[in-house]
């Protein structure tokens, strides 16, 4: 008995792009969520965009290392580690249309296929955040994904290293810059909760007074370089101002605490992903479509301007050629008018009475000259006649 084809997915898969600083546990987090989806019967489709990684603890369906040799790129273009990663991503971005076509086909399998389409597309990125987020290739990859699938940014944060107010605020500013650069929904993933609970981070994000208390405590301890009361007034004032500024920013974020090592909080993470999927379809997708229409309109207007300029250049060239032809024709007519036949007595004329030979023969008949014979005689006679 034939195996029935799986039912078509009610909605397209959601793309989860994992971004995090080196050492934040980003790749381990990718391994954990991949295993979690496999064990719960929700097989994902995974992509590895880190060309410099030696070993990936999960089996990627698409791996940048299969088509780009990172070390060979460094050697060929005489680049350092970051330049090699950036150039590898740029080279890989030239194939983004093939990747998107492959993902779209996988998301909508043929009726004869026996495999269910994935509900999640997991993307692992290099640990050098700036190389991916702020490069042209990173923008191309993210925009291409977002144009075809709901896309969510998972920003992985090392919780133990973010326990102080200064490092916490640094991570929040980095998250803010990524959010406004990518213009995609974001989830803050506080990793390594098995080492330190992330409850303090949630308090600082939701209660401004809690952050003020922690800031005052650190100031009292001289964390900012001072002794006793006060510490560094500039540093505490700066952190205080930034916390006020980011209060509006926190309202647009989802925050979850997870442990990539033990698996705690992973299900809560996927619940947040589904919320961000709805947010993408409600708020971000219309904006992306509007920007795409603007780009298409600008492209059409540019093509029209190029065509108009091209036609104008052709008209100018045709008019110039016509004018030049008329001027040449006028000069030829003037030359014909200025030519006097008497100025060229030796020229052949249509009138037989004025040709040289006829004049010579006429002179012979009239007896004005004697035939000297040959060409010499003709020349002598013409001189006398002339």
Residue 379's pLDDT is what?
55
Taking residues 293-311, report their average pLDDT.
82
Top-confidence residue, 235 or 163: 163
Residue 2's pLDDT is what?
44
pLDDT band for 330, please (50, 70, 90 cuts).
Answer: low
- Supply angle C-alpha 260, 153, 85, rounded to 5: 85
The CATH number linked to 65 is 3.40.50.300
Tell me, yes or no, whether 334 lies in a domain. Answer: no
Tell me, yes or no, whether 230 lies in a domain. Answer: no
Residue 222's pLDDT is what?
74
Inform me whether the pLDDT recorded for 25 exceeds 80: yes
Nearest to 191 by CA among 166, 168, 153, 161: 161
Residue 141's pLDDT is what?
92
Inform me whether the pLDDT recorded for 171 exceeds 60: yes
Quick one: what percent of the chain has pLDDT higher than 90? Answer: 42
| Cβ partners under 8 Å of residue 335, min gap 6 | none
Residue 303's pLDDT is what?
84
Top-confidence residue, 194 or 304: 194
pTM across the whole model: 0.73
d(CA 266, CA 33): 7
Residue 347's pLDDT is what?
47
Residue 127's pLDDT is what?
85
Tell me, yes or no, whether 386 lies in a domain. Answer: no
Top-confidence residue, 12 or 242: 12
Inform me whether the pLDDT recorded for 288 exceeds 80: no
Nearest to 275 by CA among 186, 155, 380: 186
Residue 383's pLDDT is what?
53
Tell me, yes or no, whether 226 lies in a domain. Answer: no
Tell me, yes or no, whether 348 lies in a domain. Answer: no
8 Å CB contact between 113 and 4 = no
Task: Give the pLDDT confidence of 32-56 residue by residue, as tens digits.
Answer: 999 999 999 999 999 999 999 988 9
3-state SS of the chain is CCCCCCCCCCCCCEEEEEEECCCCCHHHHHHHHHHHHHHCCCCCEEEECCCCCCCCCCCCCEEHHHCCCHHHHHHHHCCCHHHHHHHHHHHHHCCHHHHHHHHHHHHCCCCCCCCCCCCEEEEECCCCHHHHHCCHHHHHHHHHHHHHCCEEEEEEEECHHHCCHHHHHHHHHHHHHHHHHHCCCEEEEEECCCCCCCHHHHHHHHCHHHHHHHHHHHHHCCCCCCCCCCCCHHHHHHHHHHHHHCHHHHCCCEEEECCCCCCCCHHHHHHHHHHHHHHHHHHHHHHHHHHHHHHHHHHHHHHHHHHHHHHHHHHHHHHHHHHHHHHHHHHHHHHHHHCCHHHCCCCCCCCHHHCHHHHHHHHHHHCCCCCCCHHHHHHHHHHHHC
pLDDT band for 373, please (50, 70, 90 cuts).
Answer: low
Specify burial of residue 158 (Cβ count, 10 A radius: 0-12, 13-18, 19+).
buried
pLDDT band for 243, please (50, 70, 90 cuts).
Answer: confident
Q: How many domains does the chain have?
A: 1
Residue 220's pLDDT is what?
81
Inform me whether the pLDDT recorded for 192 exceeds 90: yes
Inform me whether the pLDDT recorded for 200 exceeds 60: yes
Inform me whether the pLDDT recorded for 66 exceeds 50: yes
Taking residues 365-384, report their average pLDDT.
55
Backbone φ and ψ for 152, nearest 5 degrees, come out as -130, 135
Residue 302's pLDDT is what?
85
Taking residues 285-306, report their average pLDDT.
81
Average per-residue pLDDT for the chain: 82
**Domain assignment of residue 200, given as a range:** 14-219+239-292
Inform me whether the pLDDT recorded for 23 exceeds 90: no
Inform me whether the pLDDT recorded for 173 exceeds 70: yes
Residue 3's pLDDT is what?
45
- The lowest-confidence range among 77-81, 136-140, 288-292 is 288-292
Task: Give the pLDDT confidence of 350-369 residue by residue, as tens digits.
Answer: 554 455 666 666 666 666 55
Tell me, yes or no, whether 39 lies in a domain. Answer: yes
Tell me, yes or no, whether 225 lies in a domain. Answer: no
Tell me, yes or no, whether 2 lies in a domain. Answer: no
Top-confidence residue, 328 or 282: 282
């Amino acid at each position: 008995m034939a195996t029935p084809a799986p039912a078509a997915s009610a909605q397209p898969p959601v793309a989860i792009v994992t971004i995090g600083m080196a050492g934040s546990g980003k790749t381990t987090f990718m391994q954990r969520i991949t295993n979690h989806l496999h064990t719960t019967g929700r097989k994902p489709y995974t992509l590895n965009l880190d060309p410099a990684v030696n070993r990936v603890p999960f089996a990627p369906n698409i791996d940048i290392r299969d088509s780009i040799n990172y070390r060979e790129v460094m050697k060929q273009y005489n680049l350092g580690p970051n330049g090699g990663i950036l150039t590898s991503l740029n080279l890989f971005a030239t194939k983004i249309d093939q990747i998107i076509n492959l993902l779209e086909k996988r998301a909508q399998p043929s009726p004869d296929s026996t495999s269910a389409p994935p509900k999640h597309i997991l993307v692992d990125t290099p640990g050098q955040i700036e190389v991916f987020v702020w490069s042209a290739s990173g923008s191309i990859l993210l925009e291409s994904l977002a144009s075809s699938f709901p896309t969510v940014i998972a920003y992985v944060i090392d919780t133990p290293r973010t326990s102080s107010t200064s490092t916490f605020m640094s991570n929040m500013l980095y998250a803010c810059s990524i959010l406004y650069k990518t213009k995609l929904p974001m989830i803050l993933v506080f990793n390594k909760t098995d080492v330190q609970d992330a409850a303090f981070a949630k308090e600082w994000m939701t209660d401004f007074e809690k952050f003020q208390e922690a800031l005052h405590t650190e100031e009292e301890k001289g964390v900012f370089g001072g002794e006793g009361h006060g510490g560094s007034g500039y540093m505490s004032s700066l952190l205080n101002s930034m916390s006020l500024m980011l209060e509006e920013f926190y309202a647009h974020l989802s925050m979850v605490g997870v442990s990539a090592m033990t698996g705690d909080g992973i299900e809560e993470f996927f619940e947040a992903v589904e919320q961000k999927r709805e947010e993408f379809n409600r708020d971000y997708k219309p904006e992306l479509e509007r920007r795409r229409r603007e780009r298409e309109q600008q492209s059409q207007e540019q093509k029209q301007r190029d065509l108009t300029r091209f036609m104008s250049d052709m008209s100018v060239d045709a008019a110039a050629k016509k004018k030049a032809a008329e001027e040449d024709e006028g000069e030829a007519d003037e030359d014909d008018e200025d030519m006097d036949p008497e100025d060229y007595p030796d020229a052949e004329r249509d009138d037989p009475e004025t040709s040289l030979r006829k004049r010579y023969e006429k002179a012979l008949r009239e007896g004005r000259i004697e035939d000297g014979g040959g060409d010499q005689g003709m020349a002598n006679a013409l001189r006398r006649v002339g």
